């Protein structure tokens, strides 16, 4: 094979690779748009009246995840199944965003942490790496850390809306989350840096709870809850 033939073959391989990346990019753009729509919908819970419509907003978000599953099915067909990590960077960010959104919906519904397996089911992908297009553990953890920041913001806005019990529940949840992350030996620099930000979320929520305590509002909440029982 001559030098020119060798480089012609290389150019063919490069062109094929570029075509795959372009097809992936198109689907990822659609996923990003759907993620923005879900985020816009869920941001309504931070407003005063939004607390009254949480179930309705979560239900609507679940409907949008149906679109996500369809788009994920399309994404799976755009590259060879054994080359997941070769193209992973193309969808890594949007996948982490979708993990956060799924985790936020589940928290708003049940005030629990969604499992990686449950997120994978919501997104229409696999939890097990061996089964193909899957939810990488680090992508899951990154999405959960974004949830912590969102809940810190929700704690502040809850007080503004007159909901004084929610920050206390968020505080308990975030502290449990922080304890869980402390069990991990994080090697990924990016993930480690994001985890370092969790302590600021913990501190922010503690300040909200402390302020409620100083004002005596947490006691009123506890008495009110006891009276309801």
Residues contributing to the annotated binding site for Mg(2+):
150
SS (HEC) of the chain: CCHHHHHHHHHHHHHHHHHHHHHHHHHHHHHHHHHHHHHHHHHHHHCHHHHHHHHHHHHHHHHHHHHHHHHHHHHHCCCCHHHHHHHHHHHHHHHHHHHHHHHHHHHHHHCCCCCHHHHHHHHCCECCHHHCCECCHHHHHHHHHHHHHHHHHHHHHHHHCCCCCHHHHHHHHHHHHHHHHHCCCCCCHHHHHHHHCHHHHHHHHHHHHHHHHHCCHHHHHHHHHHHHC
List binding-site positions. 150
């Amino acid at each position: 094979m001559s030098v020119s033939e060798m480089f012609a073959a290389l150019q063919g391989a490069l062109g094929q690779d570029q075509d795959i990346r372009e097809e992936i990019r198109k689907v990822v753009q659609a996923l990003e748009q759907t993620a923005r729509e879900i985020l816009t919908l869920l941001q309504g819970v931070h407003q005063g009246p939004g607390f009254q419509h949480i179930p309705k907003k979560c239900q609507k978000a679940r409907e949008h995840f149906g679109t996500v599953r369809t788009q994920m099915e399309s994404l799976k067909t755009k590259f060879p199944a054994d080359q997941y990590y070769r193209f992973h960077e193309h969808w890594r960010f949007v996948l982490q965003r979708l993990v956060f959104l799924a985790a936020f919906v589940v928290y708003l519904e049940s005030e629990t942490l969604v499992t990686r397996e449950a997120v994978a089911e919501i997104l229409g992908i696999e939890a097990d790496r061996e089964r193909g297009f899957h939810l990488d553990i680090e992508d899951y953890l990154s999405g959960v850390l974004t949830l912590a920041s969102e809940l810190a913001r929700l704690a502040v806005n809850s007080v503004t809306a007159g909901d004084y019990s929610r920050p206390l529940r968020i505080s308990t949840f975030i502290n449990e989350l922080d304890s869980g992350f402390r069990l991990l030996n994080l090697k990924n620099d990016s993930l480690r840096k994001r985890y370092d930000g969790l302590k600021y979320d913990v501190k922010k929520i503690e300040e909200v709870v402390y302020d409620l305590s100083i004002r005596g509002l947490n006691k009123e909440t506890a008495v009110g809850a006891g009276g309801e029982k």
